[in-house]
Chains A and B, each alone.
Chain A
C-alpha cells in the first residue's frame, strides 16, 4: 500500500471528506448508544436539542465554547510552527491563578483598568510557563511534548498547594478554593440571567487577531515556514529559535486567557476543577479547524455543543455523558484521516 498525491481538490471534495469524517463519527457513536440499550435517533435528537434547541441551550453552548476557543487558538498557533504544546491545561490554570492573585482586592481599580491589567498579567504568566519547555527544546534539545505534558501535573499540584495555602479563602469552610473576585474584576454577562459572558466576545476578537497575525504579518509567515520545514526556514535566514520563542509566548498567553475567562466570566473564583480537560480538548478543536484561527471558533462551538448536548441527553436518556468525549476523540482521528485522503490517493498493490 502506498500514497499517491492527488491533483488540487475541488471545493466539493474539500467539503465531502470532512462530512464523511463526521458521518463516521456518528456511526461509531451510534454503535455505543446501541450498546447502552438506547436508540441512536432519539439520543442524537436529545444531544442536538440540548446543544441548540433553545435560547438557553445555545447560550450554554457558546459559554462552554469560550475556553475552548482560547485553548484551540493556543494549540493552532503552536502546531502551525510544529511547537507541540500539549500543556494548554497547565497554562490555563496559571491564568486562573494570576486572575485571582490580582482580582481579589489587591488592585482596587475600576473595571476598565483592572480587567486589561489582569489580562496582560495572565498572558504573561501563561507565556512564561510555555517559555520553559521552549527554551529546553531550542537550547538542550528536550522534546517539548513530554515537558509540557509533565508540567500539566506539576502545575495542577502547584495550584492545589496554593488553594490549600496562600490563596485559600478563609471563609471557604475549609474547601480548597480561592476568594471571590471583586466585582470590578468580573466580566459582565451578555444577557442578564444567562451564563454567557463577555469572555466569548474576547475569544472571538482573539481569533480574528490570530487570523490576522497568521495570514498578514511577517511573524505568521515565519511561523508557517518554520512549521513547514525548519531547515529550509533556517536557509532562508529566518531565526528559527526566535520564532519558536515568540510562538511559545503567544500560545501560552492564549491558553492562559482561557483560565482568566472561566474565572472572571463564569466561576468567580479558582477551584481545582476549573477545567475538565479544556487544554487537551483544545488540541481536537485546533485539528478540526485545520489550525485556522477563524475555524477554531466554529469547531469550538461544535465541540462545546457535543459536550453540552450530551450532558443534557445523559440526564434524560441514561447513556453515559462520556459518549461526548468518545465522539470528540473519534472526530479528531477521522478528521485527520479525511484531510489526508483529500490530498492523497491510497494505492493497494
Chain B
C-alpha cells in the first residue's frame, strides 16, 4: 500500500503526468474556444487524428519540427472551416456535422497514410522534439522536473492556456467570443458579425485540437498509427464541462486526469496481474463520466451553445 502512495512523490510520475496532459490541454483549449462562441465541436476526435498525421508526415517527408506543428494547425483549421461553414451560416445540427467531420477527417487521414506508405507494417519513427530543461528551474525537486524539464510543445501547451484566458477575458475579441456564446443578438447589435466570430473561433479551436494531436506523434510516440487518438478528443469534451468552460479550471482538470492516467499505469505494474489490466485502462473513461455527473448539476454552460444564430431572428 505504501508503495502505491510513494508513486505520488516521485518526479518521474509527475513528469509523465504533465506529458500525458499536454495534448489534452491543447485540445481542451480548442474545444473551449469553440463552445464559448456557441459551437459544440464533435469533430475534435477526427481533427486530432489529422493533426497527429499532418505533423508526423511533414517531419517524415523532411520538414522540420516546427513546420510540422504549423502544418498540423493549418490542417486542423481547414477542417474547422468545413465544420463552421456547415454549422454556423447553414445552422446544421452540430451533433451530426461534428460526427461527420470526425468520420471524414479520420478516414481521409487513413486513406492518405495508406497511399503514402502502402507497404509499411511497422510505422516509421521520426526524430521527435527533445526535452528542453529550463536552466535553474528544472533543478527544483519534483515540481521543477515535472514542469520545466519537458519538450517545447509542452511549454507551448501551457502558453496556449494563458493566451486563451487572456484573449477571452482581457480583449474586446474575447468579449465578442463569449457574448456570441451567451447572447448573440447583443453581439450583432454592436455591429459585429456573429457568423464571423463563431467561424473564427471554430477554426482557431480546431487548429489547437490538431496541435494536440500532433503532440502525440511529435513529442510522445514518435510515429503515427491507427486509432492512436483513442477517445482523447471525447475526454477533452468532458474536461471542458468539468472546467465549467474556464481555461484555468480546465487546465487543472486536464492535469488531474493525466495524473490519474499516469497513476493507473503504475498501479497496473504494482498489482502484478491480479486485477485484469483492462480494469485500469477503463478507469480514466469511468472517471470522466463520474466527473461529468459531479459537475453537471451546477454547470453554467454558454446559453447559446448549440443554438444556431440567424441574423434578425430573436
Which residues from chain A sit less than 8 Å from chain B, CB to CB?
1-3, 32, 35-36, 84, 86, 136, 140-143, 145-147, 149-154, 157-158, 160-161, 164-165, 280, 283-284, 287, 318, 320, 322-323, 325-326, 328-330, 332-333, 336-337, 340, 346
Q: Is the CB of B111 within 8 A of A2?
A: no
* Set of chain A residues within 8 Å of B42, measured between Cβ atoms: 145
| A-side contacts of B285, CB under 8 Å | 150-151, 153-154, 157
Whole-angstrom distance between the Cβ of A329 and the nearest chain B Cβ: 4
Complex partner residue of B312 from A2, A35, A329, A330, CB under 8 angstroms: A2
Question: Which of B100, B230, B234, B297 has the most chain A CB within a 10 Å cutoff?
Answer: B100
B96 with A136: CB separation less than 8 A: no
**B235 contacts which of A3, A150, A287 (Cβ < 8 Å)?**
A150
**Bound CA–CA A287/B101 (angstroms):** 14
Shortest Cβ distance from residue B233 to the other chain A in the assembled complex, whole angstroms: 9
CA distance A149 to B288 in the complex (A): 11
A149 surroundings in chain B (CB, below 8 A):
231, 234
CB–CB B96/A287 < 8 A:
yes
Check B286 for interface membership: any CB of A closer than 8 A.
yes
Task: Spell out B's residues near A (CB within 8 Å).
Answer: 42, 82, 86, 89-93, 95-97, 99-101, 103-104, 106-108, 110-111, 114-115, 118, 195, 230-231, 234-235, 237-238, 241, 276, 278-279, 281-282, 285-286, 288-289, 292-293, 296-297, 299, 310-312
Q: Distance (Å) between the CB of B228 and the closest chain A CB?
A: 14
**In the bound complex, do residue B281 and residue A157 qualify as a contact, i.e. CB atoms below 8 Å apart?**
yes
Q: How far is the CA of A322 from the CA of B112 in the complex (A)?
A: 9
Interface pair B90/A146, CB less than 8 Å apart: no
A326 touches B104 (CB 8 A): yes
A340 touches B100 (CB 8 A): no
A-B contact pairs, 22 of them (CB 8 A): A2-B310, A32-B111, A36-B115, A84-B95, A136-B296, A140-B293, A140-B297, A142-B293, A146-B234, A146-B237, A146-B289, A147-B292, A158-B278, A161-B278, A280-B103, A320-B110, A325-B110, A329-B107, A332-B104, A333-B82, A333-B101, A336-B93
What residues of A have a CB within 8 angstroms of the CB of B234 in the complex? 146, 149-150, 153
A141 to B238, Cβ gap below 8 A?
no
CB contacts between A and B, total, < 8 Å: 134
CB of A141 within 8 A of CB of B90, answer no
C-alpha gap A323/B107 in the complex (Å): 8
Decide if A330 touches B111 in the complex (CB within 8 Å).
Answer: no
Q: A161-B279, A333-B86, A337-B92 known; A322 and B292 CB under 8 Å?
A: no
Are the CB atoms of B90 and A3 closer together than 8 Å? yes
Known contacts A150-B235, A164-B276, A320 near B114 by CB under 8 Å: yes
Q: Report Cα–Cα, A32/B114, bound state, in Å.
A: 12
Determine the distance from Cα of A323 to Cα of B111 in the docked complex, in whole angstroms: 6
Distance A246 CA – B267 CA, assembled complex (angstroms): 40
B103:A332 contact, CB within 8 angstroms: yes
Task: Establish whether residues B110 and A322, one from each chain, have CB atoms under 8 Å apart when the complex forms.
Answer: yes
| Distance to closest chain A CB from B107 (angstroms) | 3
**B100–A329 contact, CB under 8 A?**
yes
Q: Give Cα distance in the complex from A157 to B276, angstroms.
A: 10
**Do residues B92 and A322 form an inter-chain contact, with CB atoms below 8 A?**
no
Q: A3-B90, A165-B276, A325-B110 are in contact. Are A147 and B289 (CB under 8 A)?
A: yes
Contact of B241 among A36, A146, A323, A333 (CB under 8 A): A146
> Quick one: which of B86, B103, B278 contacts A325, CB cutoff 8 A?
B103
Give which listed residue, B103, B241, B299, contacts A328 with CB less than 8 A.
B103
Chain B residues within an 8 Å CB radius of A32 = 111
Residue of B nearest to A132 (CB): B289
A320 to B117, CA, bound (A): 11
- How far, in Å, is A34 (CB) from chain B's closest CB? 12
Whole-angstrom CA separation of A151 from B289 in the bound complex: 9
